[in-house]
Structure 1
Amino acid sequence: MDYREGLLLLLSSMLVLRHCTAQPDPNAYQNCTYSRGNFTAKSTYQTNLNLLLSSLSSNAKTISGFCNTTSQNSNKVYGLFLCRGDVTPETCNTCIKAASSNITQRCPTAKEAIIWYEYCMLRYSNQPIFSIMEKEPSICLPNDNNVSKSVQSEFDKIWVDLFNGLVSQAASAAAVGRKYAANEANYTSFEKIYGLVQCTPDYLRMIATNA
């Protein structure tokens, strides 16, 4: 799998919506991976998870919009957050604080979980997750509007060209800090395709190391 395919797959890690609001969307989407196991109340894992989420929340104003950390005790917990590349540190901070609070409410005993908002995502796991390309967990929100058959082929070509360009832009050395790119393309005289890609900076470092 090359970096282009990896970056396109990582698009699933950010929930991208067309509208904008002043506050993070309260209708967050989560994936509770109970197959990785459950933890019990007042266990060491829960204590470590609470400390990890508190650490992530306290670092939510970072300019890069990204942070990863690991609990240092037994029953390790690995965690990270990523804010959308076009949001301010203040918006990122608000979003991550909401995510760090809500993820334990929505996945109360899961040893691995991820939560997506419009402006950010937050994930934790009992297994290493840094600099690792994974297809799951993911989320798909289909658009109810279908592309007409008469422009399907042209739509597909424009979509591929748009995202190939975005992947190259996000992965380039010029995109320091936030590995993010967004653009739009016309596929009819009055309709557009909007695209956004983003990768966690630790994944880009792994690509550079393995190049």
Structure 2
Amino acid sequence: MAGTSVPSAPSPGAAPSFTATTFLLLRHGETPLTAQQRFSGSGAGDPPLSERGRRQAEQAAAALAARGDVAAVVSSPLARCRQTAAAVADRLGVEVGIAADLRETDFGRWDGLTFAEVRARFPAEMAAWLAEPSVAPPGGESFAEAAARVSRARDELLAAFQGRTVLLVSHVTPIKTLVRLALGAPDAALFRMHLDPAALSTVAYYGDGNASLRSFNDTAHLRS
């Protein structure tokens, strides 16, 4: 699979068309930039989890291990996701696969800035970015470009894990994109969703091509 490296797993055989393939979508735990509400993409910076983020990863890991149905763990290549994924994989006794296409959007020159700072320094560029998914931040990547690679990762992973439940550890934009695509929602839906650090969302995919959003932004495991 181009851009994707997943650990080998026993084949369940050909899955019946009514058997769903389930993606558990876990946003990485908090980083120092998350707490400050700064753009944190796949560009210049690659911040690790904060102490709170590591606790969130462990809480998510405990909840996911208790499910008993997670067949594999696949992560974005960025450090904050790999750390989050490792906490879960350690509990499950599995390896972490890497899918490069699950990385966060590259925000270019906006990386590390707050929304207010970007609006003040790049008013015209931000207005265009908010209005049109094909517009990229200066030196960065557009939402349309990110959606194309996320769709590619989805299709590769669906083929690799047919009929099973797999945990994907990723970022705000890829997870929202998978949810938007599952719902058949317009591009503007990205700006209508809120996703907390270490939140879980669930999408089930069926053999007839349909998809069903089962949960979104679930943080119950972080309250224990």
TM-score range (shorter-chain normalised) is under 0.3
**Which protein has the bigger helix share?**
2
User: TM-score under structure 1 normalisation?
Assistant: 0.24
User: Larger RCO: Structure 1 or Structure 2 (Cα < 8 Å, ≥ 6 residues apart)?
Assistant: 2
User: TM-score under structure 2 normalisation?
Assistant: 0.23
